[in-house]
Structure 1
Amino acid sequence: MALLRIRNLSVEFATATGQFRAVDGVDQDVNESEILAIVGESGSGKSVSMLAVMGLLPWTATVTADEMTFDGQDLLKIDPAARRKIIGKDMAMIFQEPMSSLNPCFTVGWQIREALRKHLKMGRQERQTRAIELFEQVGIPDPEKRLSAFPHQMSGGMNQRVMIAMAIACKPKLLIADEPTTALDVTIQAQILDLLAKLRDENGMGLVLITHDMGVVAETAERVSVQYAGQKIEEQPVMPLFRTPHHPYTSALLDALPERATEKRLPTIPGVVPGQFDRPAGCLFSPRCKFATDKCRTDPPPPLGPDLGYARCFYPLNVDERVAS
């Protein structure tokens, strides 16, 4: 059984001009000890879908799903008190913006120790020892001194490391990492990714990696889910996806990688991700797709089978003749 299982997840936000669907019918599984990468442009619903799983969306959001279970527990029916026991302990998240996620009124050490007190019932000295150990793990120098600092007294990169330390403090069963290495230099990025992989190996932790960095995906992930305009449009193991993408959007993302460029100018994807008022009637990628036909513009394509990466496309790319037949 999957550690996290999601079926037909949709998230709508109430706006002054009506409802906006940010996540549209997403299915997702995450297994124990698996690293799943979710990629896509900004506005594709990557973070929103995982925040819905965590129960951290604002009151303006309406979350619906046919199924949403974590470690055998139904997240759609669970009461708030039971959810609070899970979030931060068994399921944790590294947020994208550390300065808006850390409480400016408390020291970073207090915030880590509070999580340890609440979830693991540790004593004072035990919490202090564990906090120092966590800061050392994420590469924060002089950890005892840094524990007494407030978030505004630390750099963005240091606060990002504090967020990572808080997320892994209770050794969660599932860790959702939303752009965990954005504010870090390349050396620290590698250290953090190695640390997350080590935790996965030691604890059997499932890891969801939300990122724009396809290099990180290639080096770290085992399976890749591509999202566009709120929909999952393709999913494959990492090597087959890089070698034979089936959706034109996935192919365009990979073509834009500098290491794949054959000309001086990098290829780009024209246009923007559709918003509330310009969503196409058919395939959501059709206004930007060079392969789109009239059928693509009028009819929404259903997901294809696993042999074609569940691609939402009428005309998938790199189709093996045996699959097509």
Structure 2
Amino acid sequence: MSLLDIRNLTVEFATAAGPFRAVEGVDLTLEKGEVLAIVGESGSGKSVSMLAIMGLLPWTATVTADRMAFEGRDLRELSPAQRRKIIGKDMAMIFQEPMSSLNPCFTVGFQIKEALRQHTDLDRKARHARAVELFEQVGIPAPERRLKAYPHQMSGGMNQRVMIAMAIACNPKLLIADEPTTALDVTIQAQILDLLLDLRRRNGMALALITHDMGVVAETAERVSVHYAGQKVEEQPVEGLFARPFHPYTGALLAALPERATSRRLPTIPGVVPGQFDRPAGCLFAPRCRHASDICRARRPEPLGPEMGRGRCHTPLTADGNGVMQPQRMVTT
């Protein structure tokens, strides 16, 4: 039994101009102790998908799924009180914007101890000791003094570390990390990633890592899920994805890495992720894809099998006789 099992997740937001589908038909599984990286440009629905699983989307969002299970329990059938016993304890999330996630009216120490008070049996003295220990783990200097600080009295990087400490406070079984090291310098980034991976080894914690940093993906993840415009377009083990990307979008992302550049000019992907009013009739990536044909622009692709990375594409990339990835026509007009 998978730790997390999501099938056909769809999220729609009610807007003045009509409903906007931010996530469409996403499947996701995560095993105990596994590290899954979720990558894609801003606007690809990565964070929205994870917030839907956590039950943290606003009332304007409508979440539907064929299955949404954590440890075999259907999250859709839990009452708010039952869900609160899981969220923050067994399932935790490091949010992308710490300054908007921490409460400015309370000290950071109060907020991390509140999480411990809600989800553990520790007494007041033990909660304080645990908070100090957590601050030391995430590299916050002078933790006794920092516990008394308010969010506005700390830098963005320090607040990011507070969010990480709060997320790991109860040793969750699943940690969703949304760009956890964005506001941190390179040295601290490495320390935080090492800490998360150490927690995974010691506690069997599963980690869903949302990131734009393909270097982090290559070093930490076991499996990669590539998202684009609300859809999952490819999913592969990390070694296979870097060696043989099947979807043209994945290939374009990897080609844009500086270390893979073959000329002085770095390759880019033209255009932007489609929004509410400019979604194409066919493949969502077709307007930006150099391999797109008429069928790509006219018809939505169906998900392919695992041998093609479970992607959505009419012309997935396959290796030719020289090992070069070339588009392969899967359908005819």
TM over 0.5: yes
CA deviations 1:94-129 (Å, max 9, x no partner) are 000000000000000000111111100210110010
Match in the other structure for 1:228: 228
Counterpart residue number, 1:268: 268
Measure how far apart 1:188 and its partner are: 0.3
Query: What is the DSSP-based 3-state SS (H/G/I as helix, E as strand, rest coil) of the residue aligned with 1:139?
Result: coil
Please tell me whether the aligned partners of residues 256 and 266 of structure 1 are also in contact (alpha carbons under 8 angstroms): yes
**Residue 29 of structure 1 aligns to which amino acid in structure 2?**
T
Structure 1, unaligned runs of 5 or more:
none
Deviations, residues 82-102 of structure 1 (Å, cap 9, x unaligned):
000000000000000000000
Confirm whether residue 116 of structure 1 aligns to residue 116 of structure 2.
yes
Which whole-Å CA distance do the structure 1 matches of 2:307 and 2:319 have between them? 9
2:244 is matched by which residue type in structure 1? T
Matched, 1:23 2:15: no
- What is the CA–CA distance in structure 1 between the aligned matches of 2:19 and 2:117, rounded to whole Å? 40
Instruction: Note the aligned Cα RMSD (angstroms).
Output: 1.2
Give the distance between the partners of 2:72 and 2:117, measured in 1 at CA. 25
For the residues of structure 2 that align with 1:156 and 1:45, how far apart are their CA atoms?
Answer: 24
Aligned AA for 2:251?
S
* Aligned counterpart, 2:94: 94
Q: Deviations over 1:185-216 (max 9, x none)?
A: 00000000000000000000110000001010
Q: How many residues align?
A: 323
Counterpart CA distance in 2 for 1:262 and 1:320 is 19
Distance 1:281 1:66 in 2: 25
What is the DSSP-based 3-state SS (H/G/I as helix, E as strand, rest coil) of the residue aligned with 1:318? Answer: strand
**Code of the aligned partner of 2:154:** M
- The corresponding residue for 1:134 is 134
Deviations 1:213-263 (A, max 9, x none): 101000110000000000000000001100100000000000000111111
CA distance in 2, matches of 1:19, 1:115: 35
SS at match of 2:317: coil
1:181 aligned residue: 181
1:5 maps to a residue whose letter is D
TM-score, normalised with respect to structure 2: 0.96
Distance in 2 (alpha carbons) for counterparts of 1:10 and 1:294: 27
1:96 and 1:179 in contact (8 A); partners too: yes
Distance in 1 of aligned mates of 2:4 and 2:13: 24
| 1:72 positional shift | 1.5
Work out the CA distance in 2 between the residues paired with 1:190 and 1:303: 36
| Secondary structure in structure 1 of the residue aligned to 2:177 | strand
Partner of 2:324: none
SS of the residue corresponding to residue 82 of structure 2 reads: helix
Kindly state the Cα deviation for residue 318 of structure 1 after the two structures are TM-superposed: 2.1
How do 1:1-325 residues align onto structure 2 when only pairs under 5 Å count?
A: 1-319=1-319
TM-score of the two chains, using structure 1 as the length reference: 0.98
Distance 1:247 1:185 in 2: 32
Contact 1:96 1:178 (8 Å CA) reproduced: yes
